[in-house]
Amino acid sequence: MKNNSGKKNNKKLSCFGDLTVNDGHLTVGGCDAVALAEKYGTPLYVFDMQRALDTAAAYLGVLRREYPDSTVCYASKAFCCTAIYNMLAPLGIGADVVSGGELFTAIKGGMDPGKIYFHGNNKSKAEIEYALSVGLECFVVDSELELQLINSCAEKKQNVLVRVNPGVEAHTHRFIQTTAPDSKFGFSIADGTAESVIRSIENYGNINFAGLACHIGSQIFEPQSFEIAIDKMCDFIVRLNSLGIAVERLDLGGGFGVHYIENDKPLTPEQYMKNSAAYLNSAVKSRKISAPHLIVEPGRSIVGEAGITLYTVGAVKTVKDIKTYVAVDGGMFENPRTALYQAQYTAVAADRADVKGDKLYSIAGKCCESGDILIDGIMLPELKSGDILAVLTTGAYHYSMASNYNRNAIPPVVAVKDGRSAYMVKPQTYEDIIRNDVIPDLSEGVR
């Protein structure tokens, strides 16, 4: 279909960033989604590199203007593979990692260890030793055991931030909310634990207390949640200063929201950062404390909307008078988020992405589990076996949370940019799936 100017009919897909519809076909990174499914097979994660780069650059750009003494650390857990660091590191971004595996991947991908912050509430001695051996910039400490381990393993003063729980209840799903009073993360400010742990640091010869960290949750839309966290953190800095303890760095974590469905109303990265920077600037001024080096750790908002997942429709089955299931060739092994958090998604038929649906479907995965439903109720045009379905906003916490449940292969990730495509994670084979399987030899005892 051509429009009046003779050009292809190329329009934006409502709120979904850079996705466009071209002659009815969903287009991502200049590539036709149906053609990608044909070329690489399904299920397939597709990742728009420019989209992620632009978002990361937006974070860096605003902070360079509004709060120059800052570091943006990409939260690896959202999507971790070597290519993502290879792409983001040249921008001057740092990384937040939470395991030896993420740290290893980041370094292999070209991330400077001098820009990496190592989070997590239970780092092992082996992880700590590995991080020290590569010259990690900073640990974000979340237990007294970790302080002892770092102190005994380090050969010189090692920077640490202390993770605190400021007690901010952000409006988000219970399992992705991290600062409820009973959270496993952080030392409570309210009950005095954070203060006593920080005071104890002077007893550790190899530890330099560099500052504080918090993370109030994920998929947060209201800037007020971050403002409350800033106030609580700054009040705590005042308290620490009064004890003669300086706080050079303040890590406010990530949590900035994205669109999964039309009703989601996140701010833009520019708005989130402008707001937090302005709020922090005035919070430190009014308390007459010195402005800390600011660290932010966006994950989902850098990669989430850059990803889509393509599926091939298989069986379409109606449970009489109740619902019609469209079964796809993916499921909770490549997207566990609906089963875990009742997450909601938007999907389109990849060859009729601009057609308003008149059929109510539930999109079922192929795992042997009743809860393996990707979308429970969505209006789509009539679907039949062989159609390509695209689920949107799957760039964050999808590939990184995938498993081999039911021994399904984890789908590959294909990067797209300017109409070109290439693997950034190759497909898993059945041989890959059994690579570490062994028939046990029980002839040796353990004493």
Q: How many residues bind ligand LLP (CB under 6 A)?
A: 20
> CA 403 to CA 291: how far, in whole Å?
43
Quote the least distance from Cβ 5 to ligand LLP, whole Å: 40
- DSSP for 354-415, please give it: TSPP-EEEEEE-SSSSTT-EEEEEEEES---TT-EEEEES-SSSSGGG---GGGPPPPPEEE
Q: Which residue stretch of 33-41, 149-157, 295-303, 417-425 sits at the interface with ligand LLP (rule: CB under 6 A)? A: 295-303
| Beta carbon of residue 304, minimum distance to ligand LLP (angstroms, whole number) | 8
Nearer to ligand LLP, 75 or 388 (CB): 75
* Sign of torsion over alpha carbons 395, 401, 407, 412: positive
State the Cα–Cα distance between residues 88 and 117, nearest whole angstrom.
16
Between 81 and 120, how does the x/- string for binding to ligand LLP read (CB under 6 A)?
A: ---------------x----------------------x-
Compute the distance between CA of residue 88 and CA of residue 364 in angstroms, rounded to an integer.
34
Q: How far is the CB of 98 from ligand LLP (least distance, A)?
A: 7
Q: Which stretch binds ligand LLP (CB under 6 A): 45-53, 251-259, 350-358, 366-374?
A: 251-259
* Residue 298 vs 411, nearer CB to ligand LLP: 298
Judged by beta carbon, residue 70 or residue 218, the one nearer ligand LLP is 218
* β partners of residue 380: 359
Q: Which of 48, 66, 297, 354 binds ligand LLP (CB under 6 A)?
A: 297
Cα angle: 136, vertex 137, 142; to 5 degrees: 85
186 binds ligand LLP (CB under 6 A): no
**Toward ligand LLP, which CB reaches closer, 197 or 380?**
197
Which among 298, 168, 162, 293 has a CA at the least distance from the CA of 231? 168
Q: How far is the CB of 274 from ligand LLP (least distance, A)?
A: 17
Q: Supply the minimum distance, in Å, between the C-beta of residue 61 and ligand LLP.
A: 18
Candidate ranges 150-158, 201-209, 292-300, 377-385; the one touching ligand LLP (CB under 6 A)? 292-300
Contact between residue 13 and residue 353 where contact means Cβ atoms under 8 Å apart:
yes
CA pair distance 103, 124, nearest whole angstrom: 13
**Least Å from the CB of residue 396 to ligand LLP:** 6
Beta partners for residue 138, in sequence order: 117
CB of 199 to ligand LLP, least distance (A): 23
Q: What mask, x for binding ligand LLP by CB under 6 A, covers residues 61 to 80? A: --------------x-xx--
d(CA 287, CA 292): 13
Among 17, 109, 255, 266, binds ligand LLP (CB under 6 A): 255
Residue 256 makes contact with ligand LLP by CB under 6 A: yes
Q: Residue 299, interface with ligand LLP (CB under 6 A)?
A: yes
Does the bond joining 43 to the residue before it have cis omega, within 30 degrees of 0? yes
Q: Give least dist CB 96 to ligand LLP, A.
A: 5
In the residue annotation, 368 being an active-site residue is answered as: yes
Select which of 73, 138, 214, 368 is catalytic. 368
Residue nearer to ligand LLP on the CB measure, 25 or 77: 77
Phi, psi angles (nearest 5°) of residue 335: -145, 90
Instruction: For residue 344, report the phi and psi dihedrals to the nearest 5 degrees.
Output: -110, 150
User: Which region, judged by CB under 6 A, interacts with ligand LLP, from 40-48, 242-250, 254-262, 324-332?
Assistant: 254-262
Q: Does 176 bind ligand LLP (CB under 6 A)?
A: yes
Decide: residue 409, CB within 10 A, 0-12 exposed, 13-18 middle, 19+ buried. middle
* Residue 317 burial (C-beta neighbours within 10 Å; 0-12, 13-18, 19+): exposed
Sign of CA dihedral 42, 48, 52, 58: negative
Q: Assess 233 for contact with ligand LLP (CB under 6 A).
A: no
> How is the chain split among helix, strand and coil, in percent rounded to 5?
35, 25, 40
Residue 215 or 352 having the CB closest to ligand LLP: 215
Quick one: 203 exposed, middle or buried, by C-beta within 10 A (0-12, 13-18, 19+)?
Answer: exposed
Interacting residue with ligand LLP among 170, 397, 408, 413 (CB under 6 A): 397
Assigned token pair, 10: 């190329």
Residues binding ligand LLP (CB under 6 A):
75, 77-78, 96, 119, 176, 215, 218, 253-256, 297-301, 337, 341, 397
Could you give the residue numbers annotated as active site?
Answer: 368
